[in-house]
């Protein structure tokens, strides 16, 4: 397996490359789903409220969102193997620092470092497979990578529950270290050596400088606006700063020869509506996944292992429904499936509004399964429609925008869900309710907010979405949004 042997001379060698990429895909997906189970335990361990511990998730997602496009461009110029291998190491280092963190600010900072490593992995996984795997096998290779991600997402909550029940929450980070070490070594020996291309199209650094603070401020607005008031000086200042950065970004993109985002794409109705509804859908799902562990722990007093098992049904339901939805979408188009998906997901969030102290756990499961089924119905046809609506020369950029909107939606979902809960909990508790009753009512309002996002997304799908079937995508186009 000497890495100096040209890849084209190695029989089936590309499958070793796919396997190496799958290690990173599995590890990142596992970490993304394992963290939510530990949130209540970390909150108790650090003696902080939900409003502080939610930054463990938000900081990670915002860092990932901000760096994906930048690291993808740098990898094109400096070499994908280098960044992918280093990404394993940084992710492992960040995981170790998360595990030994003695205070919540240190944990949040370590999560930022962990997200930098995850961004290096995610920004390069598809590109490595695309360049290493022959076109005839590329779809299969991407399917294998997707399966690795699905397995990581599916088992993450259960593994997290087992770790917390038998050891401590710190082991949900320690478990990444041996995988990261193995991934670093395997990537160094297995991945094909690619030549740096310093003459690759220049990255729009000014665009990134203007867009990144705008995204961060946008999340802060949704996080703090409900709590301090939408017309408070702080929120108005954040609105003003966000608008300023967005205006500077638009001016820059119009003048730049190689823009970070092609603004002409947003003139395409299917592209714009698909990205907005996609953002809202992931806000709904991640907001619910963030709130549910606290409800199951604080209200139902379930042990972490059972919390993990219950959360698993979301990703499993989505995993089962996604290929079915994708196959049907090829025949009937996207509008019906995306609309139905968001309606089902909203109904699932609506079921959770009726949860109480003595509610059967089967009602919890029913609501979460509906959310997973709805997301499974919605996501494949929505992704296909967005990517199929983009001109061939802009497919790569379109995939980056789709990933960015999805990650931003995750961040916003956690921020909004946490804000709705915290603001209303304090109001209910101070005015007239016991601790448990105040928490239940606050959870209800959090779930109502997530249901409202799904309803808005459903309305977009019904009244704005393109009526046409999505264009057929080639394997090269298809991989851009996975």
CATH number, domain of 13, equals 1.20.1250.20
Spatial neighbors of 172 by CB under 8 A, at least 6 apart, are: 34, 35, 37, 38, 159, 160, 163, 164
Mean pLDDT value of segment 201-213: 84
Let me know: does 325 contact 372? Beta carbons within 8 Å. no
Count of structural domains, the chain? 3
308 & 420 share domain: yes
Report how far apart the first and last C-alpha atoms of the chain are (Å, whole number): 29
- The more confidently predicted of residues 465 and 326 is 326
What pLDDT band is residue 466 in, cutting at 50, 70 and 90? low
Distance between CA atoms of residues 275 and 402, nearest Å: 6
Give residue 437's pLDDT: 84
In a domain, 28, yes or no: yes
Of how many residues is the chain composed? 482
**Distance between CA atoms of residues 31 and 53, nearest Å:** 16
The pair of structure tokens assigned to 449 is 């907010």
Q: Are 403 and 215 in contact (CB under 8 A)?
A: no
In whole angstroms, what separates CA 417 from the centre of its chain? 15
Residue 300 shares a structural domain with residue 156:
no
Confidence (pLDDT) at 478: 41
Q: Based on the fold, state whether residues 450 and 387 are members of the same structural domain.
A: yes
Cα-to-chain-centroid distance, residue 54: 15
Is 167 contained in some domain? yes
Q: What is the pTM of this model?
A: 0.88
Same domain as 284, residue 252: no
**pLDDT at 403 (0 to 100):** 82
Residue 196 — left, alpha, or beta (φ > 0 → left; ψ -120 to 50 → alpha)? beta
pLDDT at position 473 over 50: no
Residue 1 has pLDDT above 50, yes or no: no
Please check whether residues 355 and 475 belong to one and the same domain: yes
Angle (CA) 37 42 44, round 5°: 115
How much is the mean pLDDT over the chain? 87
420 touches 427 (CB < 8 A): no
Residues 232 and 270 in one domain: no
Domain boundary among 217, 237, 259: 259
Same domain, yes or no: 127 and 33: yes
Q: How far apart are CA 144 and CA 124, in angstroms?
A: 16
Mean pLDDT lowest among 221-230, 331-340, 449-458: 221-230
pLDDT band at 143 (very low <50, low <70, confident <90, very high): confident
Q: Residues of the chain with pLDDT > 70: what percent? A: 90
Q: Based on the number of CB atoms within 10 Å of its own CB, is 103 exposed (0-12), middle (13-18) or buried (19 or more)? A: exposed
Q: Which of 144, 178, 174 is nearest to 159 (CA)?
A: 174
Which of 14-28, 109-123, 189-203, 403-417 is the least confident region? Answer: 189-203
Pair of tokens at residue 358: 């003595």
**What residue numbers bound the domain in which 457 lies?**
265-482
Minimum mean pLDDT range among 6-20, 77-91, 115-129, 227-241: 6-20
User: Looking at the structure, do residues 226 and 246 belong to the same domain, yes or no?
Assistant: yes
Give the pLDDT mean for 193-210. 76
Q: Evaluate whether residue 311 is within a structural domain.
A: yes
Q: Would residue 199 count as lying in a domain?
A: no
Dist CA 105 CA 270 (whole Å): 41
Mean pLDDT (whole number) for 347-354 = 96
Residue 284: count other Cβ atoms within 10 Å of its Cβ.
33
For residue 151, the surrounding DSSP H or E stretch is helix 135-166
Question: Which two structure tokens, joined as six digits, stand for 35?
Answer: 């963290």
Q: How far apart are CA 295 and CA 43, in angstroms?
A: 13
Same domain, 76 and 148: yes
Q: pLDDT above 90 covers what percent of the chain?
A: 54
- Same domain flag for 34 and 125: yes
Domain boundary among 259, 276, 299: 259
**Is position 198 within any domain?**
no
Q: Is the pLDDT of residue 409 over 60?
A: yes
Residue 479 pLDDT > 80: no
- Where does the pLDDT of residue 351 fall: very low under 50, low under 70, confident under 90, or very high at 90 and above? very high
| Measured distance CA(47)–CA(288) in Å, rounded | 23
- Alpha-carbon span 265 to 390, nearest angstrom: 7
CA distance 113 to 93: 8
Highest mean pLDDT among 9-23, 114-128, 362-376, 389-403: 362-376
Kindly state whether residue 254 falls inside one of the protein's structural domains.
yes
325 and 377 Cβ atoms separated by less than 8 Å: yes
Mean pLDDT within 345-369: 93
Confidence of residue 399 (pLDDT cuts 50, 70, 90): confident
| CA neighbor of 60 nearest in space, from 86, 28, 85 | 28
Q: State the pLDDT at residue 176.
A: 94
Asked whether residue 346 falls in the same domain as residue 248, the answer is no
CB neighbourhood size of 80 (10 A): 24
Report the distance separating Cα 398 and Cα 404, nearest Å: 10
Reported confidence tier of residue 427, pLDDT bands at 50, 70, 90: low
User: Quick check: is 197 in a domain?
Assistant: no
Angle CA(250)–CA(255)–CA(260) in degrees, nearest 5?
A: 60
Contact 263, 204 (CB under 8 A): no
CB 454 within 8 A of CB 324: no
Query: Which of 150, 166, 192 marks a domain boundary?
Result: 192
Does residue 183 belong to any structural domain of this protein?
yes
- pLDDT of 400 reads 78
- Select the more confidently predicted residue: 325 or 475: 325
- Cα gap 389→466, rounded to integer Å: 9
Same domain, 378 and 474: yes
Closest CA to 203 of 436, 397, 8: 397
In the prediction, which pLDDT does 5 show? 54
Which one-letter DSSP state was computed for residue 7? G
């Amino acid at each position: 397996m000497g890495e100096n042997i040209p890849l084209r001379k190695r029989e089936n060698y590309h499958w070793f490359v796919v396997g190496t990429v799958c290690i990173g895909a599995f590890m990142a997906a596992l970490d993304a789903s394992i963290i939510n189970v530990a949130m209540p335990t970390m909150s108790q361990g650090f003696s902080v409220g939900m409003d502080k511990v939610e930054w463990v998730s938000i900081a990670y997602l915002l860092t990932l969102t901000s760096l994906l496009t930048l690291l993808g461009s740098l990898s094109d110029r400096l070499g994908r193997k280098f960044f992918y291998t280093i990404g394993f190491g940084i992710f492992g280092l960040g995981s170790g620092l998360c595990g030994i963190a003695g205070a919540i600010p240190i944990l949040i900072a370590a999560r930022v470092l962990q997200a930098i490593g995850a961004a290096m992995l995610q920004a390069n996984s598809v590109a490595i497979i695309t360049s290493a795997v022959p076109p005839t096998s590329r779809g299969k290779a991407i399917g294998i990578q997707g399966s690795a991600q699905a397995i990581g997402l599916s088992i993450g909550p259960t593994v997290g529950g087992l770790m917390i029940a038998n050891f401590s929450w710190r082991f949900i980070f320690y478990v990444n270290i041996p995988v990261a070490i193995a991934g670093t070594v395997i990537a160094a020996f297995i991945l094909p050596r690619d030549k740096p291309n310093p003459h690759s199209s220049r990255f729009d650094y000014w665009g990134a400088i203007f867009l990144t603070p705008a995204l961060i401020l946008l999340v802060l607005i949704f996080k703090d606006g409900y709590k301090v008031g939408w017309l408070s000086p702080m929120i108005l200042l954040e609105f003003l700063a966000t608008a300023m950065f967005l205006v500077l970004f638009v001016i820059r993109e119009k003048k730049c020869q190689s823009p970070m985002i092609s603004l002409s794409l947003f003139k395409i109705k299917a592209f714009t509506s698909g990205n907005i509804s996609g953002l809202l859908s992931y806000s709904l799902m991640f907001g619910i996944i963030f709130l549910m562990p606290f409800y199951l722990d604080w209200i139902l007093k379930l042990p972490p292992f059972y919390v993990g098992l219950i959360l698993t049904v979301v990703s499993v339901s989505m995993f089962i429904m996604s290929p079915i939805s994708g196959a049907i979408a090829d025949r009937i188009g996207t509008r019906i499936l995306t609309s139905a998906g968001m309606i089902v997901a909203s109904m699932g969030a609506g079921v959770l509004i009726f949860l109480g102290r003595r509610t059967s756990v089967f009602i919890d499961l029913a609501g979460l399964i509906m959310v997973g089924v709805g997301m499974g119905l919605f996501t494949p046809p929505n992704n296909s429609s967005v990517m199929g609506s983009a001109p061939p020369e802009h497919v790569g950029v379109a995939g980056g925008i789709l990933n960015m909107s999805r990650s931003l939606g995750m961040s916003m979902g956690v921020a909004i869900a946490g804000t709705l809960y915290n603001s209303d909990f304090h109001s209910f508790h101070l005015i007239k309710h016991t601790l448990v009753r105040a928490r239940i009512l606050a959870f209800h309002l959090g779930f109502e907010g997530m249901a409202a996002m799904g309803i808005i997304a459903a309305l977009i799908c019904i009244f704005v979405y393109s009526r046409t079937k999505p264009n057929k995508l080639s394997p090269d186009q298809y991989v851009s949004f996975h």
